[in-house]
Structure 1
Amino acid sequence: MIIIPAVDIKNSKCVQLVQGEPGTEQVIIDNPADVAVKWINKGAKRLHIVDLDGALGSGQNINIVKEIVEKSTVPTQMGGGIRTMDDARKLLDVGIDTVIIGTMAIENPDIIEELSNEYGKDRICVSLDSKDNRVVTHGWTKFTDKTPLEYARIFQDKGAGSILFTNVDVEGLLNGINLDIAENLISNIDIPVIYSGGITSIDDIKSLKQINTEYVVIGSALYKGLIEFEDLLEYQD
């Protein structure tokens, strides 16, 4: 298992939102690049970057992203506001190792095949956000008619190298996790699943490791001090 700290960027700062809602910032830290370096120094083997301004359609933070890439000594994955092929290419070309594509992939699955052919499947991840076991898009505001597993199989066939699975029902609430959907995904597709959402304790990490989760993203629990990153190292491969 690789445990990945989240660096969420909004208004040029590192923040943590509740349920992804603007205005619910509970953590605000200056200089996201320095935050990224802090996690690397604590033992992180990968970074998860989210451009919340891009996701919310209120601008982009490409200069900060470049600074993080320049300072990072570990692989980076990034999502948020990737609306076009050019958006994805721009991030890949500035050095982001893996782009995470959500709504755009759902609307046009062939984009994943095109990007995978162009950059290699390991650099293309599809984000599947789940609410009531249905994939939701457009910032969790629109329901689709498919489950995460149904979409995961589609994108695996299209050449995605991994799936970022976020359980919206528990995301940001710090009430723990629900393993059922994640375990179903992990057991029924052949590409890695990156789990995100609701992780509150070391016990959550133990549970995810037991179902063979390969990657786990943690945000709020780290920033609020509920979990110390150093305590996670024994669970990290």
Structure 2
Amino acid sequence: MTQFRPCIDLHQGQVKQIVGGSLQDSGAKTNFISQYDAAHYANLYKDHNLQGGHVIALGPGNQEQALLALETWKGGLQFGGGVNADNASSYIEAGASHVIVTSYLFENDQFSWQRLEQIKAEVGADRLILDLSCRKTENGWNIATNRWQTVTETKVDKATLAELSEHCAEFLIHAADVEGLQGGIDKELVGLLGEHCSIPVTYAGGARSLEDLKLVDQLSNGKVDLTIGSALDIFGGSGVTLEECIRWNQGER
């Protein structure tokens, strides 16, 4: 069954919720800036045993908060944001259950199998999550790198999902076009992931209510998990409460 997966998004050293497609070097359109540090949210998720959550560093200036979250719940959170073959092991040692990688796997906007093998050699496929966050194109969806600003030629489709699933433990997929907008999930993408993913996969983007958890469960036959960000009460949202998500994960549906 579909599970709620929590998140801690870091931008410029603070826990924030942003509109994903707006992220630039100069800043981003922001939905929420927390008064609390990353440890607060890591403790919250730990106290409720919310498994499979991710800490994402969106750009520079987030190292201190990222390491704080990983230290607070050792083995309970995944980490992504600037991960490469040189530093991946350090995040595992700092407490991450898995590392999440996207942009490092592309050279000149082309997927690099050599780099995938290098990072697998450092942490192992069982500790590696491939972030296939994407943007909608004329022919479906293509992986977007560099904070979702560069659309690559690599498609998110049956063939790509099947091939890459042999090299990692999970997929994380943000629908960048709807991320942070609270306008509803990308139903077609969720359906595609449910049909063709053979390993655990978490979808993020546009979720705004408990009904979206039900919808993802239905569209994916329970195979795709869902991250809810800006709509969640702990991030200033009014669409759904963390308590409702906890009850959902406990089977109260």
Aligned to 1:110: 114
For residues 50 and 194 of structure 2, what CA distance do their matches in structure 1 show? 23
For residues 184 and 98 of structure 1, what CA distance do their matches in structure 2 show? 24
Deviations 1:118-166 (A, max 9, x none): 4332310111122112222222222222321243233223x11111111
Q: Is residue 188 from structure 1 mapped to residue 188 from structure 2 by the alignment?
A: no
Aligned length: 230
Aligned to 2:225: 215
Please, which runs of 5 or more residues in structure 2 have no aligned partner? none
CA RMSD of aligned residues (A): 2.1
Q: 1:141 to 1:65 in 2, by over 3 A?
A: closer
What residue identity is the alignment partner of 1:46? Answer: G
Aligned to 1:124: 128
For residues 7 and 150 of structure 2, what CA distance do their matches in structure 1 show? 24
Aligned to 1:144: 152
Alignment of 1:1-237 (within 5 A): 1-19=2-20, 20-21=22-23, 22-29=27-34, 30-53=36-59, 59-72=60-73, 75-82=76-83, 84-107=84-107, 108-132=112-136, 133-149=141-157, 150-157=159-166, 159-210=167-218, 211=220, 212-222=222-232, 223=235, 224-236=237-249
Please, which runs of 5 or more residues in structure 1 have no aligned partner? 54-58
Tell me which protein shows more helix as a share of its residues: 1
Tell me the TM-score normalized by structure 2: 0.82
User: Secondary structure of 2:96's partner?
Assistant: coil
Tell me the TM-score normalized by structure 1: 0.87
Would you say the 8 A contact 1:136–1:143 is kept in 2? Answer: yes
Would you say the 8 A contact 1:112–1:155 is kept in 2? Answer: no
For residues 75 and 145 of structure 2, what CA distance do their matches in structure 1 show? 29
Q: 1:186 to 1:111 in 2, by over 3 A?
A: farther
For residues 36 and 25 of structure 1, what CA distance do their matches in structure 2 show? 21
